[in-house]
Structure 1
Amino acid sequence: MSTAGVLLLALILDAALGEPRWLWSRAPHPAVLMGNLIGWCDKTFNTGDLRRIKGALVMLSLGVLSLLLGAILSAFGWAVEMIIAAMLLAQKSLVEHVGAVAKALRHSTDAGRASVAMIVGRDTAEMDEPAIARSAIESAAENLSDGVIAPAFWFLIGGLPLLLLYKITNTADSMIGYRTPRHEAFGWAAARFDDLLNLIPARLSAVLITLPYGLLSKLPDIRNEARKHRSPNAGWPEAAMARALGVAVSGPRSYEGALADFPFVNESGRKSLSANDIEAACRALWVTWGVFAALVFALWLVGF
């Protein structure tokens, strides 16, 4: 079966099943195994001098290991590729986690804070309803790119080897790719390589979000808005999602008690957000997924 055909089946399987508790309560998820490996590397090698070099060597080793493992697993046939690809996509689970914030927020602001704290890294204790909704929408857009479009893109380009390479890099970036005293040097390679691997998928995600909303002509504006974001890539899907929903995202927020005065993305958009806007973002996630699945289907038809 062609690569696009395998990916289409993986997308459908993930959308249908997500991350079933009956399975992952009995066996470790591949992402958990990746996280455990990266955590061990951090504990073992992130010491002493030359931490940037050590971090780069760790990422090189993890990358080679991922490529080799992907090649070995691919030899077992397209069904194995499909199942593993479905495990490493996150469409349904993303919608469920974001949707849970809307449900909690409808119950109370405190419940909304507790729910959004599970999907974002910023301080949530003082968030009001618009800040909770904004955070959930940003997470929806960024994780659509990181958790669905990017891994699927790299699978299309290079099958399981490149999919595993992307996932180990993205997981490493989420764990050690921070500008903190402990990780600024050791995690430098992980952060830079993740930026590189997300360069195309983030922009593709923006296009896919804008297509069903008739906003392709706004891509130059989205590009300008994306440049306001602290990330070279995350701003693209966030700016596109903000345009699609007619809202403003990003803006000031607090990390570890310190206020970060980030600019708003799509500042002219509506800022008084609610659970309704989170649910609109969930619908946008599915609409975008549908557009992408249709694109993959078209690639399958032409034998990609």
Structure 2
Amino acid sequence: MTAVLLFLAMLLDAALGEPEWLWRRVPHPAVLMGRAVAWCDDKLNTGQARRAKGLAAIAGLVVAAAVTGQILSLLGPVVEVLVVAILLAQRSLVAHTNAVADGLRLSLPAGRRAVAMIVSRDTADMSPSAVARSAIESASENLSDGVIAPAFWFLIGGLPGILVYKVVNTADSMIGYRTPRHKDFGWASARLDDLLNLIPARLTALLIALPSGVINDWRAIAGDARLHRSPNAGWPEAAMARALGVALAGPRAYDGAMQNFAWVHPAGRRTLAAADVDAAIRRLWQAWGVMLGLCAILILISS
């Protein structure tokens, strides 16, 4: 039954995406989660024992998400499909990535403005290749975080599973940084997010590699993934890099300071353009299609 609900939710999300008219009137669930995380950060991230307080905060958020999911699941399959569709982000991910490609085709400043909407690195002095590369990296990571991982945890744990994943991922994106303020308080959120993404990140890499014909390069993809600063984000990036024949990651600037990150698939092409972003979008849809096919197989097996 869960596979059927996910199958329908994936189709609904892909067809309609984010209903902006609705979110102008009521807060998106991700916004509510963000407010909850911000409240914890404001009220608990003070004084001594910040790591313990951060652990307590994420534990409370997880329990609240699980309980909310259990309550919502009692309202029937229609509500479940709607909630899951809202928490998936395939159509939104494609739209934001496509905006970068369209911006680059218009002008370099337009491309920079579009990519600044989806990445946290400095964009003011980016070259066209850096703009395209940043968009492709963001698309790869967010395919895992925004589509495959939520779908995976819904299959495993129903609405409680997907809501727990989303609140942990939201917490990691807000407080899971090694900054003076958050290195202790956000430690538990970051580690739990790493754990919850362990399987989905590798599954995402597989979903990219299979339809693109680079599955035979799996050992090389795994090696490239280990070059990435993140234990999980490197997997979809490495698969996408091989699928497109390009080099991803590499040096970039944050807050005016250049960070010398390693290249993922360093032998790949480093001159990128809008057409490469278009190709990455096709890979996003191919991976989505394979995931949808897996749901169909699960439905047939369980029927």
**Aligned-partner Cα distance in 2 for 1:258–1:152:** 36
Once the two structures are TM-superposed, the CA of residue 254 in structure 1 deviates from its matched residue by 0.4
SS at match of 1:150: helix
Corresponding residue for residue 230 of structure 1: 229
Q: Which shows bigger deviation, 23-32 or 192-201?
A: 23-32
Report the Cα offset of residue 88 of structure 1: 0.2
Cα distance in structure 1, aligned partners of 2:104 and 2:249: 19
Corresponding residue for 2:108? 109
Match of 1:154 in 2: 153
- Counterpart-to-counterpart distance in 1, 2:299 and 2:107: 46
Runs of 4 or more, structure 1, over 2 Å off, are: none
TM-score, L = length of structure 1: 0.99
Q: Where does 1:1-304 land on structure 2 (aligned, <5 Å)?
A: 2-303=1-302
**Alignment-mate amino acid for residue 112 of structure 1:** G
- RMSD over aligned CA atoms reads 0.8
Amino acid at match of 2:50: R
Alpha-carbon distance between aligned partners in 1 of 2:174 and 2:154, rounded to the nearest angstrom: 23
Map Cα deviations across residues 179-233 of structure 1 (whole Å, 9 max, x no partner): 1111111000000000000000000000000001122111111000000000000
Q: Deviations over 1:135-192 (max 9, x none)?
A: 0000000000000000000000010001000000000000000011111110000000
2:58, 2:188 within 8 Å by CA — same for their partners in 1? yes
Q: Give a deviation string over 1:219-275, Cα, whole Å, max 9, x none.
A: 111000000000000000000001001110000000111110011101111100001
- Identity, % of aligned pairs? 62
Q: Which residues of structure 2 form unaligned runs of 5+?
A: none
Distance 1:164 1:244 in 2: 31
Q: TM-score when scaled to structure 2?
A: 0.99
Q: Equivalents in 1 of 2:114, 2:212: separation in Å? A: 28
Structure 2 CA distance for aligned equivalents of residues 111 and 168 of structure 1: 33
1:23 and 1:246 map into 2 onto residues whose CA distance is 40
Contact 2:98 2:281 in 1 (8 A): yes
Q: How many residues align?
A: 303
CA deviations over 1:60-91 (Å, ceiling 9, x no partner): 01111111111111111111111000000000
1: CA distance, partners of 2:253 / 2:129: 15
Shift of 1:55: 0.4
Q: Is the 8 A contact 2:172 2:189 kept in 1?
A: yes
